[in-house]
Chains A and B, each alone.
Chain A
């Protein structure tokens, strides 16, 4: 076991792929000479050369489209979109080309592209650079949406992504790059898509999240424990495919559930998760299924104000007390 940061784990996974598979290339803004906007591809240009590490112009629609074409033609491209906010420029390529080509060509083509992108707010970058669109992409059939919260999952899911023949949106939360954690040394260690992980076992309430909201839930669980509420924390890890069964089984055990995400609560992906829970665990519920998401406003630029719009552990504690009457 080695202790790595989430950044190091992704970097390790990318290097492995570059080392083992000549079809793998990396392209995107500042991935080469600048060493990556979030330093994930630091040193890659020097080690792998400019035929495999390609700096692109600031044209998301262009280089994502090029990546999809390369994938259809037989390469295994990793395209980095600096933040998920800029993916909107490439959304037609992602949704109408990458996600559809296998289906619309009757299986003649596939587009095994990995689109790495950075999601989430909380960095004081203003309303247009602080959004969380992974849940929105998870509504699109034909895409796979991966949302690691810990270094081991980041590596294990990336290894699985390189073996998958579908377009994949791999979403890295901007505030999680420095999270440290044990990562197995075993090179065959992988994390399957569509399998949630119970990060903490508990009996009184199920807290469900992905990405940074898992960490928020774990902090809330620590505080709840002091209040005699034993929370179970589930990390969805991938939004599509979605492992709803693990969440349903947990809720059937605890009888209470809160789904937490950092995207806007209105129409958020978490509301779909909550819907599945109430439908499948209805007779086990000892209260409403709750859904916490960001406030219905553009992210404020001032960081202190921005943090007030994103669910934190206090929101969870308040909801537990108010809606379930426990932990007070």
Chain B
């Protein structure tokens, strides 16, 4: 089946089959390449056997969950399964997918907006109003019994929110000064960024806490550590210290390693820290370093470098896209003093990190030069309050100001 390779992924293109029909497959072996909004990712086989039948041809764009092929044993009778799939496929009306393998190479700009009407817990009239007003119900928190979205929720949403039309459905406006303006078609990644950031801005009520962190001790320790690691060819960055500090702080503040679900909050058992990676101006992805609570500072450092390399080479694993539970966005290398970031769903917080700069500060009654860094935590107010955010940010600050505990 077409796997869900990202929180926001709704469809994917089967770029290439890496196995032919009849070829043997081991469990976990890469069998096809899938193009998502963000990258081309190898898909591993869910089971062992023989690739008996290819259902989805190369180049085809299909919704998540679509059956791509059948893996079975050599002599298994799969004809009934094929019939079932063909019947099922025929019964699904798919106007937006009618572009076949040849046509689909042309990106149409008027995709039907997926309003999530099927499985969402909403009353019939709520669904009807959402359809009429082109509102995505997944952006609305239900206030009815068991979190059901009722009529009032959709009406309130539609009144309170400035309507954010799907960029892809906006009519094309003729350029005013046609000689000088350039119209750029959005890449799939640009569309994905547009969709998730606007959804987060509308849905999650953000608040921000900013703190100044004295990085002098961390910077000293970093120099010493890098000297020691020189022989191994490893180098720890400032960002690695921040990642480690966040991982430790999240262990003590699990409410920030969480997902808000309307009437419940899911606390994640693993701390998977997403790192915002700039793809040289072509877009942004936020893959995660998995299970940071188990990693040492050096392991985090190695993991991050590996992640960035693979991100730029389109070689990320699916769980690295979907798995982040908290995010760090660092613009320190651009000499940005401080900024605020938009929370990446389904996370409930993100840390925006500025540059480390020599700053005159008052210390023990005297003005001294310290290496200061500003960080701003964006928090989804539905899941956490200001004081909790302050305590969490305070722990990150303490850990970085007395970094010896990061080595323990």
Chain A residues whose C-beta falls within 8 Å of the C-beta of B152 in the assembled complex: 286
Closest 3 CB pairs of A and B: A286-B151, A325-B144, A286-B123
The segment from A8-16, A178-186, A277-285, A297-305 found at the interface with B is A277-285
**Whole-angstrom CA separation of A255 from B127 in the bound complex:** 13
Residues of B within 8 A of A (CB): 123-126, 128, 143-145, 148, 150-152
Chain B residues whose C-beta falls within 8 Å of the C-beta of A323 in the assembled complex: 145
Can you report 25 residue pairs joining A to B where beta carbons are below 8 Å apart? Answer: A255-B123, A255-B125, A255-B151, A282-B124, A283-B124, A283-B128, A284-B124, A284-B125, A285-B124, A285-B125, A286-B123, A286-B126, A286-B144, A286-B150, A286-B151, A286-B152, A287-B123, A287-B148, A287-B150, A322-B145, A323-B145, A324-B144, A325-B144, A325-B145, A325-B150
**Whole-angstrom CA separation of A224 from B59 in the bound complex:** 59
Contact A283 B125 (CB under 8 A): yes
Q: Which residue of chain B has the shortest Cβ distance to A323 in the bound complex?
A: B145
Chain A residues whose C-beta falls within 8 Å of the C-beta of B150 in the assembled complex: 286-287, 324-325
**Whole-angstrom CA separation of A287 from B124 in the bound complex:** 8
Q: Which residue of chain A has the shortest Cβ distance to B149 in the bound complex?
A: A286
Contact A287 B144 (CB under 8 A): yes
**Whole-angstrom CA separation of A323 from B124 in the bound complex:** 14
Q: Which of A279-325 contact B (CB under 8 A)?
A: 282-287, 322-325
The number of residue pairs between A and B whose CB atoms lie closer than 8 Å in the complex comes to 36
Q: Which residue of chain B has the shortest Cβ distance to A322 in the bound complex?
A: B145
**Whole-angstrom CA separation of A186 from B144 in the bound complex:** 49
Cβ-neighbour of B125 out of A286, A322, A324, A325 (below 8 A):
A286
Most chain B C-beta atoms within 10 Å of own C-beta, residue among A284, A287, A322: A287
**Whole-angstrom CA separation of A255 from B128 in the bound complex:** 12
**Whole-angstrom CA separation of A287 from B151 in the bound complex:** 9
Chain B residues whose C-beta falls within 8 Å of the C-beta of A287 in the assembled complex: 123, 144-145, 148, 150
Q: Known contacts A255-B151, A286-B150, A286-B151; is A324 also within 8 Å of B145 by CB?
A: yes
Whole-angstrom distance from the CB of B164 to the nearest CB of chain A? 25
Chain A residues whose C-beta falls within 8 Å of the C-beta of B148 in the assembled complex: 287, 325
Interface contacts beyond A283-B124, A286-B123, A286-B144: sample of 18 additional A-B pairs, CB < 8 Å, sorted by A: A255-B123, A255-B151, A282-B124, A283-B125, A283-B128, A284-B124, A285-B125, A286-B124, A286-B152, A287-B144, A287-B145, A323-B145, A324-B144, A324-B150, A325-B143, A325-B144, A325-B148, A325-B150
Chain B residues whose C-beta falls within 8 Å of the C-beta of A255 in the assembled complex: 123, 125, 151
Q: Which residue of chain B has the shortest Cβ distance to A321 in the bound complex?
A: B145
Whole-angstrom distance from the CB of B299 to the nearest CB of chain A? 48
Contact B145 A285 (CB under 8 A): no
**Whole-angstrom CA separation of A245 from B113 in the bound complex:** 36
Whole-angstrom distance from the CB of B151 to the nearest CB of chain A? 4
Whole-angstrom distance from the CB of A69 to the nearest CB of chain B? 51
Q: Which residue of chain B has the shortest Cβ distance to A282 in the bound complex?
A: B124
Whole-angstrom distance from the CB of A14 to the nearest CB of chain B? 47
Whole-angstrom distance from the CB of A290 to the nearest CB of chain B? 12
Q: Which residue of chain B has the shortest Cβ distance to A288 in the bound complex?
A: B123
Chain A residues whose C-beta falls within 8 Å of the C-beta of B145 in the assembled complex: 287, 322-325
**Whole-angstrom CA separation of A157 from B407 in the bound complex:** 89
Interface string of A12-30 (1 = CB under 8 A from B): 0000000000000000000
Chain B residues whose C-beta falls within 8 Å of the C-beta of A283 in the assembled complex: 124-125, 128
Most chain B C-beta atoms within 10 Å of own C-beta, residue among A255, A282, A286, A325: A286
Chain B residues whose C-beta falls within 8 Å of the C-beta of A284 in the assembled complex: 124-125, 128
Whole-angstrom distance from the CB of B382 to the nearest CB of chain A? 18
